[in-house]
Structure 1
Amino acid sequence: MNVVVYSGEGTSRISLAHTVRSLRALVGQHYDVMKIDAKGLLTEPWEESTALLVIPGGRDIPYTKDLNGAVNDKIRAYVEAGGRFWGVCAGAYFASDRIVFEVGTPLEVQGSRELKFFKGECRGVVYPGFVYDSEQGANAVEIQLNKGALAHGEKLGFERTRVYFNGGGYFVDAEKYPDTQVLAWYSDNNNDGVDRKAAMVACRVGQGFALLTGVHPEYDPAHLDAGNPEYGPSPNVVTRLLESDQERTLVLRSLITTLGLKLTHPDSEQGNAAAAEGGANPTLPLGAIQGIPDITPLYLASVHPSYTDDLMRSLKGLITTEGLIKEPNDTFQLIASPQHAIPVHTSTISETAEGEGEEKIIKNIVICADIDSTPTAATTPHFVMSDFFKHLQHVRQQDHRLKFGNSLLYGEVVTSTQTMLDKNFALCKSLPDGFVCNATIQVAGRGRGRNSWISPPGCTQFSMVLRHPVQARHASAAFVQYLVALAVVESVCALPGYEDVPLKLKWPNDIYAEAPLEEGEERQPGAPPKMVKVGGVLVNSNFSGNEFLLVIGCGVNTTNPNPTTSINHLIRYHNKVTGKNLALFTQETLLAHMLVKFEQMYDLFLHGDRTGFAQLEETYYKRWLHSNAFITLTTMTPHRKVRIQGITLDYGLLRTVAVDEQGKDIVGEEFRLQPDGNSFDMLKGLISTKS
């Protein structure tokens, strides 16, 4: 499921950055937090795969220009059908029945609005001094909580806390409207309980739910510039926010839970007890406040020392006079051995062109001369490099031609294995064919379209460099994504005894599984099994000389049963229902099996009988989900219903044939389709061709 944050015209870059970062920190292991613009909201089938839609702070007028009409109709229908909505500041004004803003000033805005999730008026600003695109009107305002209306509010050990404010409104007479609960009031405007101004409200909308906040509980003061003179003299706005930041975090977690979303780190009993006792510093589970762990060192090693020596000669050509490898996206420092001191670098935060906060830090690469010098399980408990190399050699069965995985770069916590290779072109060009970068946790993992997430431990995730010859006309690079996905499935299901483990392929590049039945659950006769995603593939391409320089990214849930299921969970269930005793996979064994299987398939694809993917077509169809499935082409007017036949052998396009109302083929009406590039579920029968 996705958390979708609006990023179109009018959104504040700062508000968007804080919103996305906070949500990824709090729920990123359960949901893909992605941005979407007005066109995406209008044309993409986002509703059924979205757990929460957020409109962050910014400017209400541009929102009305881009979203009024058809987009707002979709948003309202989504919420009324059971969806969740969060409007922050300008997003809250926009989602009310009426806005009254800065009356009598050059900034005045008045008028009715379409969504009307709050059936009354949102009036602002509550605190004077607001200036667009400025922090002059920023304030650390105190809010009084309605603990009885908040999820787990009774466990909070405080009644009031401070949060960031800049231009927000209050919800007039909120207590008088049905299906509306006040979650917090502006306590500085309390007037002894008379005419209290509601700062946050929750509104029931059909079967759904809307949270509207005039304040910004998502703003993390640790990422505000305390030196900005617009925040005032010390103790300034940032200082006051930092003093109560643990309480703000607890309130934000409560709001997320009130919205019905699952937190990455549920509150521990210890943390709740400390807060309930009114402690000044309520504790939370490890990592729960920031939610995003610190980047750890990267370790570089090879199956044989000579490969590391060759690699180091190549990398030294990139080192600057400062002793760093400075690339467009990342900066690296080489550490000669694990025995050398590893420097501690200070991170900086910059904003991307898309308006998202991006944390930058120099990444240390520790060189391991041989397998024996790689980190032990005590240092990297989730992945032991020496075990991987031993498994790799065992799975290869003395086939010395195989090279994928000969050199490996591993980090326990990284930004993104894909980004470190794909966005640093000179570094990528200097790496050998089959070089692999893997990690236990990615704090900015990349997927198709807008997908980005914080990946939890338990996922086998890696990126690999592959040089694909342009002149191989029989072997289009478009098939590489199919080969990798097929290799994932075959690395499990081709093993003796594992043939019936229910892993499948979803076109174009996802790995799905038949979800195991829960205890006491029974499948209705004739009902299809529930299919859930357990992995995916992403291939990025650059052209270099006479070859494509591909960076292949792959992630497969190996051991973690959340949020869907894992390969080991499938094996345990298979053992239970069949009486078998199949061994489970470790991260090291699965990665070794996948790399060897992919290299064998790729070698056949490229160097076999020169028929390319035709040599693997039968195996591919054996594993995929779509044989004779019916879908709807939404790019045609009127929409056309078609039946999937397969994929073309030239460029891997989806082959379909039009069908009539009875589902019978219409001779001569065939369509070839390519993936639409969106981030939403195409199994719902919606496929659009690219323009």
Structure 2
Amino acid sequence: MFLALGYISLVQWYRRCRRREVLMSAVRHVVRTSSIVVSRIVTVSSKQAHYSEFVKPKSPGVRTQLHDDDTILLSSITPKNTVNLSTWSRFGETSDSQPHELHVLLEGNISTEVPDLGHHWILKYCQPIAWTRGARAGILVGCSVDDFIDMCTILGEESPKEGEGLDLVSMQTVMTENGPGGDSGISLPDPVDIQRSHLKSDQSNPTDSSANVQETSKSELTNEDKSVKALSPKPPNILIYCGKHDSVRQFQSVSEVITDCVNTDSYTVYHLKHDQVTTTPWLDNTVLLVIATERLYDGTNDIFLDYYNNGGQVMSFGSMFETKFLEREEFQPRASLSVFSMSEKWKDVKCIRGRYNYKGYVGVTSGVCVDVLARDYQQGKPVMMGISGQGTAAGKAVLSQLHLEKDPSEAAMDPDTFDQLKYNNSARIEILKYLLTWLGLDCSQQRIPPLTPASLLTNSPKTKELFLSSLENRLKGRCLTSRSVNLEFIATDVQNLTVSSSHLPVLTSGPHKHKYFSEEAYWKNLKTSCLGQTVLYADVIPTTMTLFEGLQFSVSESIGVVAIAGRQTSGKGRGGNAWLSPEGCAMFSLHVRVPTNSQLGQRVTFLQHITALAVVSGITSMAGYENLDLKLKWPNDIYYSNKMKLGGVIVTSTIMGSTIHAIVGCGFNVTNRNPTICINDIVQQYNAVHGTDLPPCSTDQLIARTVTHIERLVTDFQTHGHRQFCERYYKSWLHSRVRVTVESEGGKEVTITGMDDFGYLEVVTDSGRRLSVQPDGNTFDMMRNLISIKPR
């Protein structure tokens, strides 16, 4: 008997040693490049029973399984997960002055407000460093590789004991940020009652398998700001879940429209990847969960329901989450274009809709109020429902078979569908804002960004020297004064610059950091001898047009100045109209000199047509982009086909001696797809239809190409005159032989024949009489085929 017991003990000892060797080998092999995730397979607490569903990976490629037995699962995630400790609380008065081989994130349930590990077995193997609180506590500890292996073994064998204070569920090795010692030295703020950690996905990862769970990025703060930041809650999170596969691409599309709808000063939008649903603490500081996938795996549906039941707000687009509340009936085998109505405000709106209708008003789950928010136009069946729980802490949800989260560029199956979706895109954005407001989010206008200094940019030191020397006699101190704004030319080493709508510092030297502009892309695409060779660039500015009030008569003829803005806060359009100038819109003002006795000087009104054509030519002259459906609408608009406006031109001019000084202002949408349409939408749709792979365009690239074509078209106009220009212009315009009504002629119908000798619209009546319609006194409504007198 004793021999048998001894043999059994020997076998058990050997198995433990062998298991330890296997674990050690697996951990040492990958721990420096990957996170080792250790999960308890059989949980003791019944409240955590659903965790056993997610610890085993259900699809290849998400994780690499290293070790699996009856009690724990050991797997790896690449690249290694990162924890930013800028908002974590320190454990008492301890510090992490001692270097550790590994940093380990422990996750579980704590029984006290502050983790108390005084009696926990984990302290035998590690040193606690910091903690953060949530649905599951996050506790960071330091240890050696040997101690980590012991912790892995005990995690599967030990049961929580009364008084230990932590029901440990999983562990993972991590890297740390915001510590002077990198991965071994950590600096933490003083112990405070903080919000829970924020999660930020690494958008550079091409696939879900490269999950990189990060805390919020470092803020560039002063010491005083840092102390305030540590005591202040961060903006709450909006999390977007896009399923297991291809989620990074889908997230980028959904996050764009959500960001366009909410006040981004109040929220931060993050990607909740599939692995993060169960391995990271995300519940406490999430104000909205957006579910943008149909199928939910590995117990995520139950976890999302728990979030809702604890007061969370959910927006679901056709996901299985809906079945927790409502019965559905299949309406069609696949998603397709549909028409719906929502209240009295939105009638006959076109949108991609899912496969189901909702059956009636009775929820599967009792204790909720169900409201019909939208109905299908054809059948009158509910396609969008509002769910409200009862009680002060109850959650709210929008369940929608209408895929408002899908941009037309992502959802369109054919060109006609794309056109209809884009035409309804403004309504889509308005409805999304309404729904987000119904869920309690702030969709007010975002705070106007602060103005920034401008930078003086040239492609050669000689050009910069010539520009500055030409201003010397006009400067008062360092300022070039004008009616609207004073330009102060200063070196970059000056601190505490004051920027206002009437005072703009211009940095003339040193390295320049720009948020919305690439000098390299601009100079690569600029092929001019004069125009645009000197750039005044500002990330945020009221308007570029006013910068030339003092400049246009000050610089020499050989200098071509262009003012470019990343964003404008007070952009102006034709007739004093406001011009929306968000990020992603190409915005510039260009100084053009025209001799009065030249071909263009005698017909300077053509300059707006030259600029509009230059925008189109700058794009369609690129290899592969020739057939993009870009058109010109008289007198000064750039259009996608004949459907939607992409941009416009405004020209002001002043005669000084024998020279016309024209300031050409131009703006057109390049990457900003909402609320209407942009160049990259058209490129993406063209790729989908023709099987091409044209890369998206950038604002700096297209501004440079536009300026290049303005110079070429001006030169050609001066050489060959307006008739040859018109022949080229007509190839892109929308109006040849179009029948329109002229109100000033008693409502008579006329036919557009072209432009007259001065660039005005020329029409002919049925009796053969020719008329010229001047843009300053008339408006041309192409959609109504109407020319009417403008009110003054």
**TM-score if structure 1 supplies the norm length?**
0.50
Bigger relative contact order, structure 1 or 2, given CA contacts below 8 A and separation 6+? 1
**TM-score if structure 2 supplies the norm length?**
0.44
Highest CA radius of gyration, 1 or 2?
Answer: 2
